[in-house]
Amino acid sequence: MKAPPEDGRRRVVIESLSPQLDGGRFAVKRTVGDKLVVEADAFADGHDEIRVVVRWWEPGAARKAWHEAEMALLGNDRWRAEIALEHLGRYRYTVVGWVDGLRSWWRDLAKRTAAGTDTDIDQAIGAQLLEAAAGRADSAGKRDDRDRLSDRDRLDESLLELAERYPDREHESVYDHVLEVIVDRRRARFSAWYELFPRSTSPDPSRHGTFGDVVDRLDYVARLGFDVLYLPPIHPIGRQFRKGPNNVVGAGVDDPGVPWAIGGAEGGHSAIHPQLGRPADFRRLVREAGKRGIEIALDIAFQASPDHPWVTEHPSWFLARPDGTIQYAENPPKKYQDIYPFDFESDDWPGLWRALNEVIRHWIGEGVRIFRVDNPHTKPFGFWDWLIGDVQADYPDVLFLAEAFTRPKVMYRLAKLGFSQSYTYFTWRNTKRELTDYFTELTQTQLREFFRPNAWPNTPDILHEVLQTGGRAAFEARLVLAATLSANYGIYGPAFELLEHTPREPDSEEYLDSEKYQQRTWDLERRDSLGELIALVNRARHEHPALQTNERLWFHAVDNEQLIAYTKNTADRSDIILAIVNLDYHRPQAGALELGLDGLGLPADAPYELVDLLDGTSRLWQGPRNRVELDPARRAAHLYHVRRLRSEREFEEYA
């Protein structure tokens, strides 16, 4: 005969706890200031009342310092509570429930009293329950509460509420798992990234750019409204197999090489390219950026050039081919002879892991708190699980962006392992159906619990056909889409604002004269620059909380497949943003837009105002159905702040 369970008197069943990922294997994600809404099904056999609480532990607390809060019954045995997330780091939470004998007795006593069937035995049972509660109050050192609970002359609801402070939890049930939520700082949820190559910031085409030149560029980046300045690798660049302009094999003596071919005689991943400056110059850049509300994000590319010191110091960290040479990187048909991947199956893999961890910690020591990680999907999942967890245990404010343009399940696994933000397929989602389906998936499925999209219309590696052929309107539209569909977005500049659109060859997404292979000089004062529009879009993002989250993204019907319309709003609907974008970059398009007024809290029978945040014009709409028209020769998008008119007088004054 099988032995009975340890305690068969635990009668409450707890299941379907949310949020959780993969049975609790991974943590969900939130940011400081959020509330974690916890729900669970909880019930017991029979008809006894139960009580259910959410139990949580917050970072920095003593090991056994758990908090609890009562959960409210929503109906159908579903319970809910909220946890205020006020600290960075990993919270833990679970749900606990027990049968409430006192509340069950009180409920039944009221029924018996109403029916005239209550007895002295019923009263005696209640007295025993209250006496037990008084004993628990005494054990807790609450003598006044003990005395009140021992007073049988005033048996009422207030006495019952007092007794419930000292419940009998001897046979409580605890949910099977302790779950986790990673609480990041706000920039994990809301950020605008600007990427530039430091070597191309020199005003003199004959001189290599420096960190000092980047400092001089900070006011420009700030005027555009960006809060993260992302720099490709700033380390020494190898000379063996260095690539020339447009990725030609065999560089000239003055060709600067590819920044991702990391390492030279001057050092490796913890060193700085000597032409950029010294460590003190980099620290100055970090400080000056901070004064302008900008953070420096560094590219972390875990790979090496043939000249990297580790190639000779740790040859076992690289894969040797049968002829004794080291295997260089490939993405057939592309070959990267100037880059050696690390061999994560090396016998000395622990040494490699520790060394790469130290790279991150070195740059944290230099003031960096955001890292864009190059191709993380080509490194083991277990490595990222360990590294991110280990770093954030000491530095919970550090953020990691995954540059992983790969299969969806791989991208999502990396996010589950701890990457704070992730690149997306936005660049290749261009039709109304593609955009609607993709961002619905990202924001309205379980992905929203752990995957924070960061939308980029271009990168140094990706010049999509839409930007090659769509003209200025394509750049305008893709900017508005990226910046408003996603709370995190970025552009590679100045190529983007200066409308760089020429591919290296037909059917290629590579730029002609790409900065990856050569230094460029940019005229930031060009009259056709999109800088003014970018600044307006980023101002709207900072001034309107509705655009600072991916929650409550709602696509609205337009009877024209070339027009896409969607809203974002705050939870209290005090801030509503409506974006309308023409996806035909060559012809005017018009259609009827159907707004879900009730869901937005807008009146069905009164006018409401739309103020365009991109040009300051305004209009009145009334009812759910209104006509929209966009001519890409004039503008590719509207970005409206939707405002209720507060009174009939305001409407008359407006009219």
Q: Where are the domains of the chain?
A: 1-100+170-184, 101-166, 188-301+349-544, 554-654
Architecture of domain 554-654: Sandwich (2.60)
Domains 188-301+349-544 and 554-654 share a fold: no
Among residues of the chain, what percentage have pLDDT more than 70? 98
* pLDDT attached to residue 398: 98
How far is 581 from 273, CA to CA, in rounded Å? Answer: 43
* pLDDT attached to residue 154: 63
Computed over every residue of the chain, the mean pLDDT equals 95
* pLDDT attached to residue 647: 54
Is residue 193's pLDDT more than 70?
yes
Query: In terms of Cα–Cα distance, which of 533, 539, 462, 529 is closest to 494?
Result: 529
Please tell us whether the domain made up of 1-100+170-184 is placed in CATH 3.10.129.10: no
* pLDDT attached to residue 201: 98
Of 163 and 282, the structure prediction assigns the larger pLDDT to: 282
Is residue 526's pLDDT more than 60?
yes
**What's the pLDDT tens digit per position in 374-416?**
999 999 999 999 999 999 999 999 999 999 999 999 999 999 9
Please work out, in degrees rounded to the nearest 5, the angle formed at the alpha carbon of residue 123 by the alpha carbons of 122 and 128.
Answer: 100
Q: How confident is the model at residue 111 (pLDDT cuts 50, 70, 90)?
A: confident
**What's the pLDDT tens digit per position in 309-324?**
999 999 999 999 999 8
Q: Is the peptide bond before 167 cis (omega within 30 degrees of 0)?
A: no
- The pTM for the full model equals 0.95
Section 435-440 average pLDDT: 98
Based on its alpha-carbon atoms, the radius of gyration of the chain, rounded to whole angstroms, reads 30
Among residues of the chain, what percentage have pLDDT more than 90? 84
Question: Which burial class, exposed, middle or buried, applies to 646 when counting CB atoms under 10 A from its CB (0-12, 13-18, 19+)?
Answer: exposed
Q: How many helices (H) and strands (E) does the chain have?
A: 16, 30
CATH number, span 188-301+349-544: 3.20.20.80
Q: How confident is the model at residue 464 (pLDDT cuts 50, 70, 90)?
A: very high
* pLDDT attached to residue 654: 53
Query: In terms of Cα–Cα distance, which of 500, 541, 655, 501 is closest to 193?
Result: 541
Catalytic residue check, 374:
yes
Section 433-447 average pLDDT: 98
* pLDDT attached to residue 128: 86
* pLDDT attached to residue 203: 95
* pLDDT attached to residue 153: 62
Section 463-483 average pLDDT: 98
Among 31-35, 603-607, 621-625, the minimum mean pLDDT is found in 603-607
* pLDDT attached to residue 331: 81
* pLDDT attached to residue 299: 98
Section 524-548 average pLDDT: 98
Q: How confident is the model at residue 149 (pLDDT cuts 50, 70, 90)?
A: confident
Q: How confident is the model at residue 141 (pLDDT cuts 50, 70, 90)?
A: confident
> Which residue type sits at 473?
A
Among 143-147, 412-416, 638-642, the minimum mean pLDDT is found in 143-147
Q: Which of 100, 213, 227, 403 is catalytic?
A: 403
Contact 38, 177 (CB under 8 A): no
Query: In terms of Cα–Cα distance, which of 545, 581, 635, 552 is closest to 429?
Result: 581
Specify the 3-state DSSP secondary structure of 583: coil
* pLDDT attached to residue 376: 98
* pLDDT attached to residue 213: 98
Q: Which of 374, 449, 476, 500 is catalytic?
A: 374
Specify the 3-state DSSP secondary structure of 175: coil
* pLDDT attached to residue 290: 98
DSSP per-residue string spanning 224-259? HT-SEEEE---S-B--TT-B-GGG-BS--TT----T
CA distances from 206 to 199, 209, 593 (A): 11, 10, 53
Contact 546, 569 (CB under 8 A): yes
**What's the pLDDT tens digit per position in 46-94?**
999 999 999 999 999 988 899 999 999 999 999 999 999 999 999 999 9
Residue 421, C-beta contacts closer than 8 angstroms, at least 6 positions apart: 188, 191, 399, 400, 401, 402, 452, 453, 454, 488
Owner of token pair 């390219």: 273
CA distances from 416 to 85, 105, 395, 420 (A): 19, 46, 19, 9
**What's the pLDDT tens digit per position in 584-618?**
999 999 999 999 999 999 999 999 999 999 999 99
